[in-house]
Amino acid sequence: MWITWRRSTVEAGLFDSDVLLDVLAQRQPFVFASAQALNRVTQPQVQGYVSGHAVTNIFYILRRQVGRETAHELLSKLLQHLQIATVTDEVIRAALQSSMADFEDAVTSEAANAAGVEVIVTRNTPDFVASAIPAVLPEEFLASP
């Protein structure tokens, strides 16, 4: 399913944990497109976000793969380029009321909405069909002006 979300410029995108783990854990064959999409946040007109609840999940997965110290270093470097979309009481309550099938995805969507993000960058776009914020693949985020 293709989502029409095109604007003259995308100013803010929230990166789902799958895309960030592609980059941090060098997961093939996804690392190249995910890294290029993530590199867009180094441009002054593009702001990147990660949901607050995703940070703990990313650390947990990385720690198991590369150890605590390396996971800490990787996450610290990542957060130099991303803002954290806060998970508040309101975000959790909205996610509980969401029609989205997966609660974690609903929290991601509601955190993105609360942060004023325009798109969610994920490899799991079908999981976000019911999201108020459109989901795009890393390749689509790259293609946006």
Q: What is the pLDDT of residues 23-81, one digit of tens each?
A: 999 999 999 999 999 999 988 889 999 999 999 999 999 999 999 999 999 999 999 99
Kindly tell me if the per-residue pLDDT of 85 is higher than 80: yes
Task: Output the pLDDT for position 143.
Answer: 86
Asked whether residue 43 is domain-assigned, the answer is: yes
What is the pLDDT at residue 4? 41
In a domain, 69, yes or no: yes
24 lies in some domain: yes
- Residue 129 belongs to a domain with what CATH number? 3.40.50.1010
Residue 89: inside a domain, yes or no?
A: yes
Q: What are phi and psi of 113, to 5 degrees?
A: -60, -45
- Residue 1: inside a domain, yes or no? no
Question: 7 in a domain, yes or no?
Answer: no
- Gap between the Cα atoms of 91 and 113, Å rounded: 9
Q: What is the pLDDT of residues 92-126, one digit of tens each?
A: 999 999 999 999 999 999 999 999 999 999 999 99
Over its C-alpha atoms, the chain yields an Rg (Å, rounded) of 14
Instruction: Report d(CA 102, CA 93) in Å as an integer.
Output: 14
- Would you place residue 134 in the very low, low, confident or very high pLDDT band (cuts 50, 70, 90)? very high
Establish if 102 belongs to a structural domain: yes
Per-residue confidence (pLDDT) for residue 74, from 0 to 100: 96
Q: Evaluate if residue 3 carries a pLDDT over 60.
A: no
CA dist., res. 134 & res. 80, Å (int):
25
- Residue 49 belongs to what domain range? 20-143
Residue 106 backbone class (left: φ over 0; alpha: ψ -120 to 50; beta: rest)? alpha
Domain count, the chain: 1
Tell me if 87 is assigned to some domain.
Answer: yes
Backbone dihedral region for residue 76 (phi beyond 0: left; psi -120 to 50: alpha; all else: beta):
alpha
